[in-house]
Amino acid sequence: MAADMTQSTPGATNPAGTPGSAKGKRTDPERSRRFGESGATLNVFGTGFMAIWAIMILGPVLWVVLGAFKNAGELNGSAWSWPHHWSFDAFSRAWHTGISTYLRDTVIVLVFSVSLTMLLGAMAAYVLARFEFRGNRFIYYLFVSGVMLPVYLALVPLFFQVSKLHMLNTYQGLILVYVAFSMPFTVFFLHSFFRTLPSAVYEAALIDGASHTRAFFQVMLPMAKPGLISVGIFNILGQWNQYLLPVVLMQSQHGEQPHYMLSQGLVSLMVAQGYSGDYPALFAGMTIAMLPVMAVYLSFQRQVQAGLTAGTLK
């Protein structure tokens, strides 16, 4: 579905898109001045509005991070209070009330789920993109149709499917589900990427006696690195931030300890803090959870933006 989002009528022209460019080829100072002026009002208004929007984004984030350094009294006092002494007490409380476990469990799951997603996704996308065989298009559309399907539709049966396999509240269960639900986008993205790669190097490798498998791992995969990085970042962020799937699949079954993922753990911490009133610890936990994504985002800002929006652009 997602593949055919744009209908094109090649050759047709958009009337609004081609203003009569033949008329005024000379530079007209009068006109460019007017253009500049009409821009000035818009500029003041626009920049002001954008500044407000930026404050609306940064404001709450900073306010909550600051809250991690306040003590309970300061938090319950005024919203404008400034932390008196900068201590990391709340951080260590948050760390010991569960964040460290959630973090560990999430990292364990993600290490396997992201690498498996990339491996299986690349394998499927590669075969579908570069080989002709019967059923190719059918399988491709089967994968890609998943991009648009809402997860809710599958939620109830998925729970029982995982239950039947005795994988509720297990790492392997969640890993496989993450991999499966990441497949559509990964295949879709890498499929178009593998199509653009030149085949000369690959053919040379085959002539030199490499098997298809070896040619894939040693020639094609390294060439596809930019695509793999984009879709990799997409999957890391997506799975790191996943909330709904763990809520359904990672509940305690027979009274054993549930393996909460970070997002889920934070929300449960929020509910728990609502009772015990230790908001600084909650805010500290949130800050801890935010730091890794922030580091990734700020250092790979361009790739992150490209990776996250790439699927929509195609």
Partner 1 sequence: MRLRKKTRERLFIASFLAGPLLVYLVFVIWPYIETFGYSLTEWSGVAPPSKVVGLKNYVDLFHDPIFLKALTHNMIILIVFPTVTIALSMFFAFMLNVGGRRGGLGGVKGIRGSAFFRIVFFFPQVLSVAIIVILFQSAYESNSVGLFNAIVIKLGLTDANHPWEFLNSPTFVLWCIMFILVWQWVGFYLVLFSAAMQQIPRDYYEAALLDGAGRTQTYFKVTMPLLWDSVQTAWVYLAVAAMDAFALVATLTPGSSFGGGPDEHGEVLSTYLMRNFQVLGKAGYACAMGVVIFFITLILSLVVLRATRRERLEY
Segment 172 to 231, residues that bind partner 1, using CB under 8 A: 176-177, 179-181, 183-184, 187, 211-213, 216
Selected range binding partner 1 among 89-97, 119-127, 195-203, 218-226, rule: CB under 8 A:
119-127
Minimum distance from CB of 37 to partner 1 (Å)?
Answer: 8
Residue 270 CB neighbours (<10 A): 13
List binders of partner 1 among 6-65 (CB under 8 A).
6-14, 16-21, 23-25, 27-28, 31-40, 42-43, 46-47, 50, 53-54, 56-61, 63-64
Selected range binding partner 1 among 86-94, 121-129, 188-196, 224-232, rule: CB under 8 A:
121-129
Sole binder of partner 1 in the list 126, 185, 188, 189 (CB under 8 A): 126
Sole binder of partner 1 in the list 68, 110, 129, 146 (CB under 8 A): 146
Backbone φ and ψ for 255, nearest 5 degrees, come out as 75, 0
123 makes contact with partner 1 (CB under 8 A): yes
List binders of partner 1 among 259-288 (CB under 8 A).
262-264, 266-267, 270, 279, 282-283, 286
Sole binder of partner 1 in the list 98, 281, 289, 303 (CB under 8 A): 289
Residue in this structure with the two tokens 């579905």, named with its chain if needed: 1
Residue partners of 108: CB distance under 8 A and separation at least 6: 171
Tokens of 260: 């909460």
**What is the Cα–Cα distance from 68 to 62, expressed in whole angstroms?**
10
Closer residue to partner 1 (CB): 47 or 100: 47
Q: How many residues bind partner 1 (CB under 8 A)?
A: 124
Selected range binding partner 1 among 83-91, 196-204, 223-231, 294-302, rule: CB under 8 A:
294-302
Residue window 235-254: x/- pattern of binding to partner 1, with contact defined by CB under 8 A: --x--xx-xx---x------
Closer residue to partner 1 (CB): 80 or 86: 80
Q: In 153-178, which positions are buried (b, 16+ CB within 10 angstroms) versus exposed (e)?
A: eeeeebeeebeeeebbbbeebbbbbb
**What is the Cα–Cα distance from 98 to 284, expressed in whole angstroms?**
12
Q: Alpha helix locations (H) across the chain? A: 29-67, 72-76, 89-94, 100-130, 136-145, 152-164, 171-196, 200-207, 212-215, 221-223, 225-240, 244-249, 262-276, 279-299, 301-313
**What is the Cα–Cα distance from 127 to 283, expressed in whole angstroms?**
47
Minimum distance from CB of 53 to partner 1 (Å)?
Answer: 7
Closest CA to 175 of 250, 230, 124, 253: 250
Sole binder of partner 1 in the list 78, 196, 257, 299 (CB under 8 A): 78
Minimum distance from CB of 123 to partner 1 (Å)?
Answer: 4
Selected range binding partner 1 among 82-90, 93-101, 122-130, 190-198, rule: CB under 8 A:
122-130
Selected range binding partner 1 among 86-94, 142-150, 195-203, 224-232, rule: CB under 8 A:
142-150
List binders of partner 1 among 147-166 (CB under 8 A).
148-162
Residue partners of 248: CB distance under 8 A and separation at least 6: 155, 158, 159
Residue partners of 71: CB distance under 8 A and separation at least 6: 83, 84, 280
Residue 3 CB neighbours (<10 A): 14
